[in-house]
Amino acid sequence: MFSEDEIERYARHLMLKEIGGEGQQRLKQATVTLVGLGGLGGTAGQYLAAAGVGRLRLVDPDTVSLSNLQRQVPYETADLNAPKPKVLARRLHALNPNVAIEHHERAFEANDLRGVDLALDGTDSFPARFAINQACVEAGVTLVSGALGPWSGQVGAFAPHVGAYQPCYACFVPSEPPEAEACAVHGVVGALAGVVACQMALEAIKLITGAGTPLLGRLWIYDALKAEGRTLNMAKDPACPVCAGAAAEKNTIAPLPH
């Protein structure tokens, strides 16, 4: 099941009652698509590779720019102008060669969800988020979504295919908010990206292993200036044009029996 190298590498997971050998096996068998490989997807990808997720699919059309490096710490100055998926794939392989990594230097396509257990959205534009959500709902793939404001961040998980009351991202954000903030316009404190990226990676690990209570249908909001977090319930919109009537029974992640 695990090689000696893997048993040593994942020792701190294997001793956790919420993960253990069975959870680690689930991680090894999981396939996760990461869309948007900046401060959120890039750092979340590092933790998922380190955790031993079996297969990662990396998708982003962007290259590394100098203003990225203030918060997108998987990249180095020497990576300037290189495609992010290619650089990140190399870095994740160096971190954990047990992980199979695909990289796609282009925008997200629905096909990126084939054979996937979970998708992480770390993009910073509403059109991209809506497209990823729609594709996840259609494919019955659970979505973990993260977003950054200048000094605040949020993470939610969406899986309308697992229950009639579960919202999708479009139930929560039906259209682009007028006050939509982009890092490029309003700025963002760099270390906050790490906080939100790690919360995304944690939720992915919980969903895959069945540990704890996932953020499904809930939104975690972190206020960095106050150092305070809170969690809200998100309501399903019964008239949501994206997920109303989304078929149940499509989910591929069954929770571990406890």
* Chain contacts with Zn ion (rule: CB under 5 A): 168, 170-171, 240, 242-243
The rounded radius of gyration (Å) of the Cα atoms in the chain is 17
In whole angstroms, the minimum distance from the beta carbon of 250 to Zn ion comes to: 15
Q: Which is nearer to Zn ion, 56 or 168 (CB)?
A: 168
Q: Return the closest-CA partner of residue 11 out of 120, 185, 21.
A: 21
Q: Give 53 or 242: the residue with its C-beta nearer to Zn ion.
A: 242
HSE value, Cβ hemisphere, 13 Å, CA-based, for 21: 4
Task: For residues 184 and 217, give the distance between their C-alpha atoms in angstroms, rounded to a whole number.
Answer: 29
Q: What does the alpha-carbon distance between residue 226 and residue 216 come to, in Å, rounded to a whole number?
A: 25
* Minimum gap (Å) between residue 137 Cβ and Zn ion: 7
Question: Could you give the CA distance from residue 118 to residue 30 in angstroms, rounded to a whole number?
Answer: 8
Tell the smallest beta-carbon distance from residue 237 to Zn ion (Å): 6
d(CA 238, CA 220): 22
- The CA distance from 115 to 122, in Å, is 20
Least CB distance from residue 187 to Zn ion, whole Å?
Answer: 31
Among residues 30 and 219, whose Cβ is nearest to Zn ion?
219
- Give the residue carrying structure tokens 């068998």: 29
| C-beta of 96 vs 166, nearer to Zn ion | 166
Work out how close the CB of 145 gets to Zn ion at its nearest, in angstroms, rounded to a whole number.
13
Residue carrying the six token digits 């982009």? 182
Q: Which is nearer to Zn ion, 170 or 205 (CB)?
A: 170
Q: Where are the alpha helices (DSSP H) in 3-142?
A: 4-9, 11-14, 20-29, 41-51, 84-95, 126-139
User: Measured from the CB atom, is 148 or 240 closer to Zn ion?
Assistant: 240
Give bridge partners of residue 135 from the DSSP assignment. Answer: none
Supply the minimum distance, in Å, between the C-beta of residue 96 and Zn ion. 35
Nearer to Zn ion, 88 or 170 (CB): 170
CA torsion 136-138-141-144 (nearest 10°) is 30
